[in-house]
Amino acid sequence: VASEKLPRPRPRADELELSGEQMRRLLDAAAKRTIAHVESLPRQPSWATEGGEQLARSLREEMPEEGRPAEELLDLVFEKVIPASLNTAGPGYLAYIPAGGLFQSAVADFVAQATNRYAGVFSVAPGLVALEANVLRWFSQIVGYPRESQGILTTGGSLSNFSALVTARRERLPENFLSGMVYTSDQTHHSVEKAAMLAGFPHGNVRVIGTDETFRIRIPDLESAIAADRRAGKTPFLISANAGTTNTGAVDDLRALADIAEREKLWLHADAAYGGFFALTAEGRRILAGIERADSIVLDPHKSLFLPYGTGCLLVRDGPALKRAHALSADYMPTMQDDPGMPDFNLLSPELSREWRGLRVWLPIKMHGIAAFRRALEEKLALAREAADKLRVMPGIEIVAEPQLSLVAFRANRPGWDVGEANEVNKALLDRINARKRVYMTGTRLGSRFVLRLCVLSFRTHADAVEMALEDIRAALEESS
Amino acid sequence: VASEKLPRPRPRADELELSGEQMRRLLDAAAKRTIAHVESLPRQPSWATEGGEQLARSLREEMPEEGRPAEELLDLVFEKVIPASLNTAGPGYLAYIPAGGLFQSAVADFVAQATNRYAGVFSVAPGLVALEANVLRWFSQIVGYPRESQGILTTGGSLSNFSALVTARRERLPENFLSGMVYTSDQTHHSVEKAAMLAGFPHGNVRVIGTDETFRIRIPDLESAIAADRRAGKTPFLISANAGTTNTGAVDDLRALADIAEREKLWLHADAAYGGFFALTAEGRRILAGIERADSIVLDPHKSLFLPYGTGCLLVRDGPALKRAHALSADYMPTMQDDPGMPDFNLLSPELSREWRGLRVWLPIKMHGIAAFRRALEEKLALAREAADKLRVMPGIEIVAEPQLSLVAFRANRPGWDVGEANEVNKALLDRINARKRVYMTGTRLGSRFVLRLCVLSFRTHADAVEMALEDIRAALEESS
């Protein structure tokens, strides 16, 4: 047998284990740099990716046989690696959909990782699962879901959309699902199409419906498409509604979509990765009315709950559907149970082993209360509206998408410019704004128009940062005229 | 427009932001408890899940409107929540496939989360991507992959297996893939079947092949199954090989499987979530010979690289295949590029936003050098062989699976017992061993036999813990006779 081939006695290999003192020293070294870094965020440039390829080449190295001092490694990370990026954690980050990065959540994650208990099965970690289940129940409550709903924490919107699609496929389509049709708008996040691709749907099965002047899906066009597909022998089964698009923050008419889904017996999915937590505010509830009628909802706590990257969520109204789509077990697994109040997360999600994601959500909410998050979200809504008001009166600027949530899209325009000219001007304008490195904004295409977007979502972004963005827009406009 | 409905001026909402002093205090409070907890791991019981449902009920609470002091919350987590679980981080954890939980990695994760930069696109964070790409290149080197291979870090084996299957589906099957057949053994981890289910394959498309007395797939049976399926009009496309099963640590004959895959033009996938990093050792390389011929390999750094839960990896030999299966982009996304040495991870994986997983792998390897991990893995191999040697001479014990890697499966047996009797005895034996709470082991079924498993994989498990397990097995045996 193989056992005879090994030399004995084998040496005790404990060099990876740190003493209490070594742990303290390592954490102190990391903490000192991290806290100084976070404190300096408002003074850091909004991006610093120049020379990125050169940096990457300089960092390339062979697998190290021997170790290096931690302080030296942390210096490299804090001095060279982290600064050379978009400052996604800073107050001037108004690009894409900003993530937060609450320090409280990072601390919770440290606790979860260093204690390293397994939270995928209730019976082996009832307390860990209970805290995570609390968080999911609170989220259900925020969107107005009933008690029998269930949820999972994921790493982000993409995997949440994927699990939603897999759940809908299981509930609404036969084993041969290849004629199943998904309906999105031309503003839908590409992760929905990607989810369909990963789930095995043929490329042509995602039907893209046009949007109106507020970038909401055109309801009559959706109805016609569904009818046409039925006539052609296709099997409509899912409408993916937007509750806050990435381009403009548009929220589809969720009540109208729920009516159609009900009538046509389709699964209504709401991608509320960006918009969902605005349901904590009165204004958000008004805008998101009808979301509680969706069969599944994607929320990203790392967006509108300000948490660090890697924290997504999927809620399914008919909780057991999540399990029907994801459950599979084996002889070597621990005992599972069936009380939906005490879930075995591995049966509800694609993941088996994974980090205890619940704590990083639970700790900040418990420390501050949900009211603090509500107030922060109210501020973001108001800041975007103020920004829109000021952009609206800025000479040469036209608002292309009024803020529905906390995002405004706009562009420079003048009578006589054709769309190509305008696009060139606006790309140059964006570059000039970002060249100041006080704020960072991004553009997108809306139809043929290139537009600039200003998205207020970081908990670190207040009126001063938005004011700075407006100043830099004004200055860049002046430079270009 | 909506903007008129909001009251102005809106208040500045900055209560979620912590000052430097508040950050220090919060981290200190967490660090004090975490380090004391980790230091006490060897003295903690190996499990404490009694009364779990009661605990879970007591933790259930409504969404809090207002906050609570962090110290109080951390006390709850450290005193009530974490202890009431399997002590998956302790030296006596010999169950399932143990994860590690290197403190060094938890610190790295804290840094990544608190600084919260986005690492999914090279151009926006070249340094972050470069460090993660280094790690992936090192992993490729460990398994003997060529330069053109590519990889992704995932949350664990399940999502890695899923992405491997999706990649193979894209490479080897037409758009209508429903006749595609997957070949596994009866020892294959259920996440492979789950991956097939999530990817949309009909239930019957996973063909389960029997194993020999060492729990390796029966090669002739596999060949016959492939031939029979071809005759029946099915489309064989993927063999999922085991490089360390969960039940016994068995490693299939990877060279024979590579030959078949080559001849039959099938995708060879190797699930090396548990076993892969043993390729760092001479013994492991011998056992895993042929793994470099697999088209894709799953590794779990949170298993045999001792990291905390939530760190998996998929490597694909033909790197661009990963991209063909996962790439999709959109107008609002940053510029991507094509240098395979500087990957855009979002194009290679199902995830878009996610945490910067690279740092938690990079820091421990850089701090200690890979040699320290090699020595630790050599120790695990030797410990399992020593345990097997001692179990082999224990009266009334029979080894059911000799250690191929760091796992031995055994059971109590006596002449005259039928399998049902033996199973009852062994279940009771396992309960008595675990009742001492010094170590924690789990059982599984091998065919009709219930067996006990002793898996040595934590970096905290040394000879003393294994000796304790053997003592407790002996004592439990005596009690039962």
Of A36, A53, A77, the CB nearest to B126: A53
Q: Is the pLDDT of residue A65 over 90?
A: yes
Min CA distance, B226 vs chain A (Å)? 22
- Residues in contact with B22: Cβ distance below 8 Å, sequence separation at least 6, in sequence order: none
**Which residues of chain A neighbour B15 with C-beta distances below 8 Å?**
368, 372, 375-376
Indicate yes or no: CB of A442 within 8 angstroms of CB of B96.
no
CA distance to partner chain B, nearest, from residue A415 (Å): 24
Beta carbons of A355 and B74 less than 8 Å apart: no
* Cβ separation A101–B107 shorter than 8 A: no
Are A113 and B122 inside 8 Å of each other by CB? Answer: no
Mean pLDDT of B175-192: 98
A150: helix, strand or coil: strand
CB contact under 8 A, B332 and A444: yes
Average pLDDT over residues B321-325: 96
The predicted-structure confidence for B333-366, as pLDDT tens digits, reads as follows 887 765 656 899 999 999 999 999 999 999 999 9
B311, B355 contact by CB (below 8 A) = no
State whether residue A156 is helix, strand or coil.
coil
C-alpha angle with apex A391: A385 to A393, nearest 5 degrees? 110
Would you call A118 and B85 a contact, using CB atoms and an 8 Å cutoff? yes
Give the per-residue pLDDT at A1. 44
For chains A and B, what is the number of CB pairs under 8 angstroms? 555
The mean pLDDT value of chain B amounts to 95
Average pLDDT over residues A124-149: 97
pLDDT, one tens digit per residue, over A433-474 is 999 999 999 999 999 999 999 999 999 999 999 999 999 999
Report percent pLDDT > 90 for chain B.
Answer: 93
Q: Which residue among A12, A127, A178 places its CB closest to the CB of B176?
A: A178
Residues of A in contact with B31 (CB under 8 A): 24, 27, 31
Interface test with A, best of B24, B190, B353, B427 (most A CBs within 10 A): B353
With contact defined as beta carbons under 8 Å apart, do A335 and A123 qualify? yes
Inspect the interface and report whether the beta carbons of A379 and B10 lie closer than 8 Å.
yes
In terms of CA atoms, which chain B residue is nearest residue A386?
B3
CA distance A130 to A343: 8
Question: Is pLDDT above 70 for A339?
Answer: no
pLDDT of residue A91: 97
The residue among A4, A5, A8 whose CA lies nearest residue B392 is A4
Which of the residues A32, A88, A115 would you substitute to probe the B interface, choosing the one with the greatest number of B C-beta atoms within 10 Å? Answer: A115
DSSP tag of A208: E
Contact A99, A309 (CB under 8 A): yes
**Contacts with B334 from chain A: Cβ below 8 Å:** 96, 442
Quick one: pLDDT band at residue A330, thresholds 50, 70, 90? confident
Pick A11's closest partner by Cβ from B26, B105, B379: B379
In angstroms, rounded to a whole number, what is the distance separating the alpha carbons of residues B291 and B168?
Answer: 17
Quick: pLDDT tens for B191-245: 999 999 999 999 999 999 999 999 999 999 999 999 999 999 999 999 999 999 9
DSSP at A151: E
CB contacts of B106 in chain A (<8 Å) are 110, 113-114, 116
Q: Which residues of chain A lie closer than 8 angstroms to B330, CB-CB? A: 189-190, 246
Chain A hits for B305, CB-CB cut-off 8 Å, are none
CB A370 within 8 A of CB B65: yes
pLDDT of residue B330: 79
Mean per-residue pLDDT for B122-128? 96
- Taking 90 as the threshold, does the pLDDT of residue A37 lie above it? yes
- What whole-number distance in Å separates Cα of residue B86 and Cα of residue B1? 55
Residue B381: which of B324, B457, B327, B446 has the closest Cα?
B457
Selecting from B59, B61, B341 the residue whose C-beta is nearest the C-beta of A127 gives B59
Q: What is the pLDDT of residues B455-480, one digit of tens each?
A: 999 999 999 999 999 999 999 999 97
Predicted confidence (pLDDT) per residue in B48-69, tens digit: 999 999 999 999 999 999 999 9
B453 contact residues in A (CB cutoff 8 A): 332
User: In angstroms, what separates the C-alpha of A370 from chain B's closest C-alpha?
Assistant: 5
- On average, the pLDDT of chain A sits at 95
Structure tokens at B37: 């907890």
**C-alpha R_g of chain A:** 25
Nearest residue to A118 via CA among A130, A131, A133, A128: A128
- Alpha-carbon Rg for chain B in angstroms: 25
pLDDT band, very low/low/confident/very high, at B99 (cuts 50, 70, 90): confident
Among A13, A123, A118, smallest CA distance to B372 is for A13
Summarised one tens digit per residue, pLDDT across range B165-175 is 999 999 999 99
User: Using CA atoms, how far apart are residues A223 and A230, in angstroms rounded to an integer?
Assistant: 11
- A309 neighbors B355 (Cβ within 8 angstroms): yes
Q: Is the pLDDT of residue B1 over 70?
A: no
Using CA atoms of A183, A188, A190, A192 in order, give the dihedral in degrees to the nearest 10: -40
Structure tokens at B30: 């967490």
Q: Which two tokens stand for residue A434?
A: 């970002």
Do B70 and A191 make contact, defined as CB atoms within 8 angstroms? no
Interface test with B, best of A116, A304, A444 (most B CBs within 10 A): A116
**Highest mean pLDDT: which range of A196-205, A324-333, B323-332:** A196-205
Residues A456-473: b if buried by 16+ CB within 10 A, e if exposed: bbbbbbbbebbebbbebb
- The Cα–Cα gap between A88 and A381 comes to 20
Q: What is the pLDDT of residue A11?
A: 83
**Quick one: tokens of B297?**
């390999």
Comparing CB atoms, the residue among B13, B126, B198 nearest residue A49 is B126
In the predicted model, is pLDDT for residue B130 greater than 70?
Answer: yes
What's B93's DSSP letter? B
One-letter amino acid of A242:
N
Confidence class for position B332, pLDDT limits 50, 70, 90: confident
pTM over 0.90: yes
Is residue A297 scored above 70 in pLDDT?
Answer: yes
Nearest chain A CA: its distance from B259 CA (Å): 24
What is the pLDDT, as a whole number, of residue B255? 98
pLDDT at site B331: 79
Which residues on A lie below 8 Å from B172 (Cβ)?
Answer: none
Residue A400 confidence (pLDDT) above 50: yes
Closest Cβ–Cβ partner in A156, A247, A354 for B352: A156
- Asked whether the beta carbons of A385 and B2 are under 8 A apart, the reply is yes
Mutate which: A6, A16, A379, vs B, most B CBs within 10 A: A16
Single-letter code of the amino acid located at A330: A
Give B30's contacts in chain A (Cβ within 8 Å): 107-108, 110-111
Query: Strand, helix or coil at B344?
Result: coil
pLDDT at A340: 56
pLDDT at A335: 78
Report the residue from A59, A108, A134 with minimal CB separation from B134.
Answer: A59
Q: How far is A258 from chain B (nearest CA, A)?
A: 23
User: Chain A contacts of B189, Cβ < 8 Å?
Assistant: 330
Q: Name chain B contacts of A129, Cβ cutoff 8 Å.
A: 56
